[in-house]
Structure 1
Amino acid sequence: MRRIGPLAIYALWLRDVKRFARTPSRIIGSIAMPLLFLVFLGFGFSGAAIPGLPEGVDYLQYLVPGMVGFTMLFGASFAGMSILADQEVGFLKEILVAPVSRTSIVLGRIAGGSTTALAQAALILLLSIPLGFEIRSLLSLPLAVVVLLLIATTFVGFGVALASQFSDSEGFGLVVQFVIFPIFFLSGAIYPVGSLPAPVSTLALANPLTYGVDGLRAVLVGSSRFPLALDLGALVVSSILTVAIGTYLFERVEAV
């Protein structure tokens, strides 16, 4: 019987981190779109009267947590791409037949994907400061990291689950982009979801990123739609569900 191996988890985590660090084009590409959104929307709508915007919070302060959340969504979801890339070069087959449990492989992928997504989010947060973003308190940063890790775990699990159903990276890339943008636009990242029609607002309540972005606003800006405890609870539930589904589906992948 195969067991969960900490060394296997660590090895896969380290491999993903090194591969990310050694690919500058991937780092730049991962933050380019959120940064463009941040610059053009942040300055373009600066001072505009946006319905539903929290009182006393300017648009840039509102937008930055949304862009950090979007960066996490984009980076974490595409962590599944590395599984398909490994499948194409034969590495996935090697680790599937190794004497470690598939749960270890999934956990290693989740750890690596979460770490790289967290690095991308940190870059966006740092780049937003020269643009005028002000963090409420440096003491809130550890709690922000907790929120970010929960977002990353949720969507890396989603990426693993989705990648388990594909045999080619092209099809995965098309589908994941088709899924990512509705999640992004229904999260309240760039505008308050409370101002949307009631049926759409209801859909937003089923979106894990809604609670992730709201939690980031709570700890970084000091303004949120929901209590922070609700945001954290929803993220914990979503991360457990997506990791469980991702593990279950990955267990069914054939080593061919």
Structure 2
Amino acid sequence: MTVTTTPVVRTPPQGLLHELGVVATVIQREMIRFVYDVGRAVATLFQSVIWLLVIGAGVGSLLPGLPEGADLKTAVFPGIIAMTVILSAMFSASSIVWDREWGFVRIMLVAPVSRTSIVVGKVLAGSLLATGQGAVLIALSGLVGVPYDPAMIAQMLGVMLLTAFSVASFGVAVAARIKTLDSFLGIAQLVIMPMVFLSGALFPVGQLTGWFAAVTVFNPIAYAVDPMRQIVFGYVDAPAEVAERLNPGVSWNGWEVPVALELLMVGVAGVAFLLIAVARIRKVE
């Protein structure tokens, strides 16, 4: 008589600690990838410095009617940081498309782990890397008349992390269904670049008129840029006329939107995009 035994397949525990380990592993992998591709980060930072010098020093000297003591570099500085964080967070999602082309995504998706953990790991990794690049620019604060105040730096880091989280979630949601890197980069540039330029990152929104001003109100990125500028001007010793001209805030029909509401909108958008990214990844075969 032959006894047939069924092999026992052992699967790792699917508890919270296991999923947190998956998130940490994905973050670690993205960090290692970043170290080997640090040239892209250096190029992004160099480009941001050029924007700061060109827009702040060059274009600022051409704007008529600026109050005495107004330095456009100070007003543009938080916008340049926001632009760096947003672009870095968006393009960090390209790793999903790259992994798909090389077949690594399929390996992750068939592994006995939650796809939600994979998405969360990708988003958090992109958020941390983008915030880190923005933090490097904060080291240049003294060059544009912004003090190195610990409270200001802490607030800026918090807003940068929230902004990076929202943009990275959006990027992963977009990348989840795109199969080629060229397509993703094209869509990212088509969507993100106009929104960045029309967000008030490179010039105060108070300088805009007509349909430019109307577009800014409906631009979600404007609500990530404005809190950074509000924080910086809270620690800059600027005359009231200068602050009013270079830091007008975002208004809805004459009502200035509070920073707390702006941050809430950015956070809610990030959570919504994260849920969309998870849903789209779950449909990938």
**How does the TM-score come out when normalised to structure 1?**
0.89
1:29 equivalent among 6, 28, 43: 43
**CA-based RMSD:** 2.3
CA deviation profile, 1:3-29 (whole Å, cap 9, x unmatched): 660000000011111221232312212
Corresponding residue for 1:175?
Answer: 187
Counterpart-to-counterpart distance in 1, 2:62 and 2:15? 56
CA deviation profile, 1:107-153 (whole Å, cap 9, x unmatched): 00011100110111112222x33533413732122221111111101
- Letter paired with 2:23: I
Counterpart-to-counterpart distance in 2, 1:237 and 1:224? 24
CA deviation profile, 1:59-80 (whole Å, cap 9, x unmatched): 0110010110000111011122
In structure 2, do the counterparts of structure 1 residues 248 and 54 end up closer, same or farther at CA, with 3 Å as the change threshold?
farther
CA deviation profile, 1:26-62 (whole Å, cap 9, x unmatched): 22122132221111112103445467x7996520110
Corresponding residue for 1:38?
Answer: 52
- Letter paired with 1:227: P
- Letter paired with 2:24: Y
Q: Within the alignment, does 1:8 sit opposite 2:39 as a pair?
A: no
Counterpart-to-counterpart distance in 2, 1:19 and 1:141? 27
Equivalent positions of 1:131-142 (< 5 A) are: 131-135=143-147, 137-142=149-154
Equivalent positions of 1:99-248 (< 5 A) are: 99-126=112-139, 128-129=140-141, 131-135=143-147, 137-222=149-234, 223=247, 225=249, 226-248=257-279
- The unaligned stretches of length 5 or more in structure 2 are 1-12, 235-246, 250-256
- The unaligned stretches of length 5 or more in structure 1 are none
In structure 2, do the counterparts of structure 1 residues 221 and 21 end up closer, same or farther at CA, with 3 Å as the change threshold?
farther
Q: Alignment partner of 2:54: what SS?
A: helix
In structure 2, do the counterparts of structure 1 residues 174 and 72 end up closer, same or farther at CA, with 3 Å as the change threshold?
same
2:111 equivalent among 98, 119, 124: 98
Q: Alignment partner of 1:78: what SS?
A: helix
Larger displacement relative to structure 2 (240-249 or 97-106): 240-249
In structure 2, do the counterparts of structure 1 residues 57 and 208 end up closer, same or farther at CA, with 3 Å as the change threshold?
farther
Counterpart-to-counterpart distance in 1, 2:120 and 2:80? 26
Counterpart-to-counterpart distance in 1, 2:248 and 2:267? 18
Larger displacement relative to structure 2 (197-206 or 94-103): 197-206
Counterpart-to-counterpart distance in 2, 1:142 and 1:245? 30
**Alpha-carbon shift at residue 227 of structure 1 (Å):** 2.4
In structure 2, do the counterparts of structure 1 residues 135 and 48 end up closer, same or farther at CA, with 3 Å as the change threshold?
farther
In structure 2, do the counterparts of structure 1 residues 112 and 121 end up closer, same or farther at CA, with 3 Å as the change threshold?
same
Counterpart-to-counterpart distance in 1, 2:162 and 2:26? 20
Larger displacement relative to structure 2 (172-181 or 236-245): 236-245
Q: Alignment partner of 2:199: what SS?
A: coil
In structure 2, do the counterparts of structure 1 residues 130 and 145 end up closer, same or farther at CA, with 3 Å as the change threshold?
closer
Q: Alignment partner of 2:221: what SS?
A: helix
Larger displacement relative to structure 2 (186-195 or 141-150): 186-195
In structure 2, do the counterparts of structure 1 residues 50 and 151 end up closer, same or farther at CA, with 3 Å as the change threshold?
farther
Q: Alignment partner of 1:100: what SS?
A: coil
Counterpart-to-counterpart distance in 1, 2:96 and 2:196? 23
In structure 2, do the counterparts of structure 1 residues 59 and 180 end up closer, same or farther at CA, with 3 Å as the change threshold?
same
In structure 2, do the counterparts of structure 1 residues 38 and 218 end up closer, same or farther at CA, with 3 Å as the change threshold?
same
